[in-house]
Structure 1
Amino acid sequence: MGSAKLEHMFDIFPPEVADLGALNAGELVDAARGWARAENAACARKLAVMAEIFARRTSDSAEERELWWVDPEAAVAAELAAALQLTQGLALHQTHRGVALRDRLPKVAAVFEAGLISDLLVRKIVWRTWLITDPQLMAAVDAELAGQVSRWGALSEKKLEAAIDATVIAHDPAALRQPRPGTADRAVEFGSPTDEPGYTSLWARLYSPDAAAVCDRVNRVADSVCAADPRSHAERLCDAFGAIGAGLETLACRCGHDDCDAAGRETPTRNTTIYLIADAETTEEPTETVEPAADHEPATETVEQSETEPAKPAKRAKPAFAFGAGVMPPALLGALVEGARLRYVRHPGDSPAEERYTPSTALAEFIRCRDLTCRFPFCDKPATDADIDHTVPYPVGPTHASNLKCLCRFHHLVKTFWGGPDGWRDRQLPDGTVIWTSPTGHTYTTYPGSRLLFPSLCRPTATLWFGEPPTPQTRDGRTAMMPRRRRTRAANRSRAINAERKLNAEHSDRGSDPPF
C-alpha cells in the first residue's frame, strides 16, 4: 500500500521519529496510537501475502507430496521463514493465521486491514473460532465479530476471550474451546528454551509417593557431607542429582579437612564431550598453565614491562560456546571441565579430500565446531544434532571441509527434496560461507557460527573449483526416500477438530457443566 493511501486511511499520517521533539505529551500519545494502527494494518497485509503464497504453493503441488514428512506446507514455511527472518514454527503459525483470516474470517480481516484491531486480538479470534466447521455458521460468526470487535473497548484478556466465546456459543455451542478435566499425565522434561548456557533445567510430574521417595533420597545424599562443607544446601541438592545420576549414594565433601571421612569419597564420572575450540597453533602441549583466579573471576596473564615500553593489556579469558545453548561465561567453564578429557579440534588447512562419503571423526568435529548450528537461514538447531551435508552431492562433490556444512534433518530434507533448478540451491565458499538461493530467486547468506567467537576456524580451506560448481544429475526414484506421514496435515487437523467437538457435544448431551 502506498503512502498516499495510508494517509487517506488514517486521515493524518503519524509523525516520523525526527519530528517527535516538537510534539507535546498529548500529541505523542496520538502519534503512538497512529503508528499502532499502521502496525496493525501492515501486519494484516503481511499475513495476507503469506496466505497467498501458501495457497499457490500448496494447491499446485502433487497429491503425493501431501504425505511427505516435509510436505508442501513445511516447504513454503521454510521459504517464508528465510524471507521474514523467522523460525520455521513461527512462519507456519503466521501463515495459518493468514489463511484463516482469508478463508474463514474475511470480515474480521477487513477490520484488521483497516488497523482497528491488533494481531494479538486476531490470534484469539482465530484460535477460539477454530472448531466451527459449518461454512454458514462460520460466516455468521465472522460478520458478528467484525461488527462488535472495534466497539469492545479496553477489555482484559479474559474478558476478550469471554466476548468471543459468547458469539461462538450463540451460533455453534459445540465449537467452544474449553479446558479439559485435570487428567495431567506423568512427564519428565530435560532442558528449557530459557536455560542459560551451561545449565539444563529438570522438570517432572510424578505420582506423589514417587516424588516423596525422590525428594527423600536427594536430601539424604545432599546431607551426606560434614557441616564444614562450603556449599549451600541448594548447591548440594543440585550436586546430589548429579551424584545419583552417576550411581553414587553420597557426595564427596569439599571442606578440605584431612580428618573428614567424606572428603575422599568417589566423585561422579562424567561422560560428556566438551570441545576446546582454539587456533591450531595454540593446541600444542602447553608449557605453562594459567590457573583461574579466586572467586571465579576470569584468569588473566600479566607481563612485566620496562619503563620505556608501553603497557600491554592483560589477556582476558575467552568465553566458550555450549552447543544448543549459546555463549558461556569463562567463570562457568572451570566447573564443567573439571576432570574432563580434552580433545583438540584442528583446522584442516589445505588437507585433500577424504576418499569416502562419511567424513572422518576429526573432519566431522571441525565442521560442527566451525558451524555451531544448522546453516539454513535463521535456523539455530545445534550442530551436534545436525547432519553433515555435502553442498555439492557426493561423489561429484568431495568429502572436504570446503564442501561440507551442518544442516538439521528438516532443512537437509528441504534441500534434498525441494531443491534443484526451480527450488533451493546452495553454494559454499572455502571459509564456510553458504549462499542460499530460494525458489523465487532471492538469496540469503549464512556465515559459520564460529565467525565471531573463534574466527581462526573460518580460515579458508582449499578451493575445490573455480567458477560455478558442478551440478549432479538428479537420480530417478529419489522421492521414494522421503519419510512419509500416515495422514496429511489437513486430515490430522480435521480429526483433532472433530474429536474436540465430540467431547463438547457429549458434555452438552449430559447437561454437565463445562469442564473448567
Structure 2
Amino acid sequence: MQFGSPGDPPGYTSLWARLFSADAALDEKCVQEMAYSVCDRDPRGAEERRADALSALIQQTTMSCLCGDADCEATRGNPPDKNTIIYIVADRDTITAETDSGDAGDPSDGGPGDGDPGQGGPGDGGDPVGEDGDESGPESCAPAAPAFVFGAGILPAVLLSPLMARARIRTVSQPGGALPETRYIPSRALADFIRCRDLTCRFPGCDAPATDSDIDHTVPYPVGPTHASNLKCLCRFHHLLKTFWTGATGWQDRQLPDGTIIWTSPTGHTYTTHPAGAALFPALGPATPVLWDGDPPRNTNTEHRGAMMPRRRHNRAQNRARAITAERRLNDDLVAEHNRPPPF
C-alpha cells in the first residue's frame, strides 16, 4: 500500500494498493454499502462518499451523515474516540474563521483521545501566532491562510473546518527574548515552537516530519544552552550522523538566530536549510536572540568519537526470527497445557 504521489494537489493524498481479488471485491462492496448508508439529503457526491467511507473503514469508525437534520435516521452518533493522533499547525485567524464557518463549537474542548494541538491532535489546529500575531480576525476579506499537516503537507483552510470538532488547541508562541532553559530536555512550550518552526528534519534533503524527529542542540549541551537559537529538529538517523561523525572529516553545522542551518560536509561543500514553518507562518519568523559574539564555541571531541556510535547487537531479520521463535514456543506451551490430562 502506498500513500501519496508527487502529483497530488494540496490538501489531498492519493492511495494505491494491490489486493487479492477476493479481498478487493469484499472491500469494494463494504465501501459501496457504507457510502449509501447515509440519507438522501447528504450533500456529498457518490465519489466523495466512497472516499469518506474508505477512511471510515480504515479508521474502524462509523460514517456520519452530513445532512444536518437532527431527526435523520442515518445518524450513527458520535464516532468512538481513537488513540491515533495527527498534528496540524495553523494561524489563529485560520482556526477562528474555520471554526466559525463550520459552527463546530469551542475547539479547545476536544474530546478524549484528541491530540495536543500546537503539534496537533486529530484535526488539531496548533496556533503558532503569539501576542504579536496578526489580529485581523475572520472578518477580513482575505482568504484564510492554509494549515500544515505534519507528514502530509499543506492543507487548504476550507478542509480544516471538519477536523476542528475534535481538535484540542494549544498556543505556540515565539519565545522572543526568553532566557536559556537550565536543563537538557527542552520544555514542552519550547519543543512545540522548534517543531512548528522547522516542520521537518533540518538535514539537507531530508523531509522527515518534525513530530517524528529529535530536538538537537547545534552546539552540544552543556556548552550550548537549551535555547531556541541553539535547537533544531533532526530525524534519528541524521541526529546520530551529526553527533558521531564529527571532527575534521565529519559533518559540521552552524545555526543562525533566524533558524537557518549552514551545513559543511566532509568534502567541504556547504548546504543551507531554512525553517519551513517560518516561511509558512510569519509569526514564527522573527529571529531569536544571538547567543554568542563571533563564532560559537565547539566541544572538544576525540578523533575516535565515531567508536561511540550505538550499534545493534542483532539486525532486524534476527530480531524478527527470535520473536517468531518465542511466540511459537509460547503457543506450544499453551497447547501442551491444554492437552495435559487432569490429575487424579
1:404 positional shift: 0.6
Q: Does 1:479 align with 2:289?
A: no
| CA drift at 1:418 | 2.7
- Please name the residue that 1:291 is paired with: 101
Tell me the residue number matched to 1:211: 24
1:397 aligns with 2:224: yes
Q: 2:139 aligns with which of 290, 296, 301?
A: 301
TM-score (norm 1): 0.48
Residue number among 172, 177, 186 corresponding to 1:359 in the alignment: 186
Aligned-pair CA distance for 1:262: 1.5
Post-superposition offset of 1:289: 7.0
| Cα distance change on mapping 1:205 and 1:224 into 2, 3 Å | same
- CA distance 1:289–1:200, change in 2 (3 Å): closer
Cα distance, 1:269–1:207 mapped onto 2, change above 3 Å: same
Residues 274/417 of structure 1: CA separation in 2 closer, same or farther (3 Å cut): closer
Q: Is the 1:431–1:459 contact (alpha carbons within 8 Å) kept by the matching residues of 2? A: yes
- The C-alpha deviation readout for 1:389-433, integer Å capped at 9, x for no partner, is 110112221221111111223332332233323432111122212
Code of the residue aligned with 1:251 in structure 2: it is M
- Identical positions, percent: 56
CA shift in 2, pair 1:256/1:485, >3 Å: same
8 Å CA contact 1:277, 1:369 repeated in 2:
no
Distance 1:330 1:275 in 2: 12
Mapped pair 1:256 → 2:68? yes
State the Cα deviation string for residues 182-219 of structure 1 (Å, max 9, x = none).
xxxxxx33344444443333333232222222222222
* Structure 1 unaligned blocks of 5 or more: 1-187, 294-298, 303-313, 488-516
Match of 2:78 among 254, 257, 266: 266
Counterpart among 403, 408, 411 of residue 238 in structure 2: 411
Match of 2:205 in 1: 378
Q: Distance in 2 between matches of 1:433 and 1:391?
A: 11
Equivalent pair of 1:225/1:253 in contact (CA under 8 Å): yes
Task: Using the TM superposition, give the Cα deviation of residue 367 of structure 1 relative to its aligned residue in structure 2, in angstroms.
Answer: 0.7
SS of 2:17's partner is strand
Partner of 2:172: 345
Contact 2:213 2:234 in 1 (8 A): yes
* Amino acid in the other structure paired with 2:65: C
Distance 1:478 1:234 in 2: 54
Q: CA deviation at 1:483?
A: 3.8
Structure-2 residue corresponding to 1:450: 277
1:288/1:439 Cα in 2 relative to 1: closer, same or farther (>3 Å)? closer
Name the aligned partner's letter for residue 425 of structure 1.
Q
Distance between the aligned counterparts of 2:171 and 2:88, measured in 1? 7
Q: Return closer, same or farther for 1:486/1:198 CA change in 2, 3 Å cut-off.
A: same
Asked whether the equivalents of residues 244 and 308 of structure 2 are also in contact (C-alpha less than 8 Å), the reply is no
With over 3 angstroms needed to count, the CA separation of the structure-2 counterparts of 1:381 and 1:343, relative to structure 1, is same
1:224 to 2:37 alignment = yes
Matched position secondary structure for 1:362: helix
Distance 1:458 1:483 in 2: 38
**Structure 2: distance between partners of 1:376 and 1:435:** 10
* 2:88 maps to which of 251, 275, 280: 275
Q: Whose helix proportion is higher, 1 or 2?
A: 1
Whether the 8 Å CA contact 2:215–2:231 is kept in 1: the answer is yes
Q: CA, structure 1 residues 326+207, in 2 after alignment: closer, same or farther (shift >3 Å)? A: closer
Aligned-partner SS, 1:413? helix
Corresponding residue of 2:117: none
- The answer to whether the 8 A contact 2:5-2:14 is kept is yes
Contact 2:183/2:226 (8 A) holds in 1: yes
Q: Relative to structure 1, is the Cα distance of residues 444 and 207 closer, same or farther in structure 2, using a 3 angstrom cutoff?
A: closer
- The answer to whether the Cα contact below 8 Å between 2:223 and 2:299 also exists between their aligned partners in 1 is yes
Deviation at 1:268, TM superposition (A): 5.9
- Could you tell me the TM-score, scaled by structure 2's length? 0.70
Give the whole-Å Cα distance in 1 for the aligned partners of 2:73 and 2:248: 71
Q: Which residue of 2 aligns with 1:238?
A: 51
Paired residue for 2:256?
429
- The total of aligned residue pairs comes to 280
Gaps of 5+ in 2: 104-136, 316-344
Question: Residues 305-324 of structure 1 correspond to what in structure 2 (within 5 A)?
Answer: 314-324=141-151
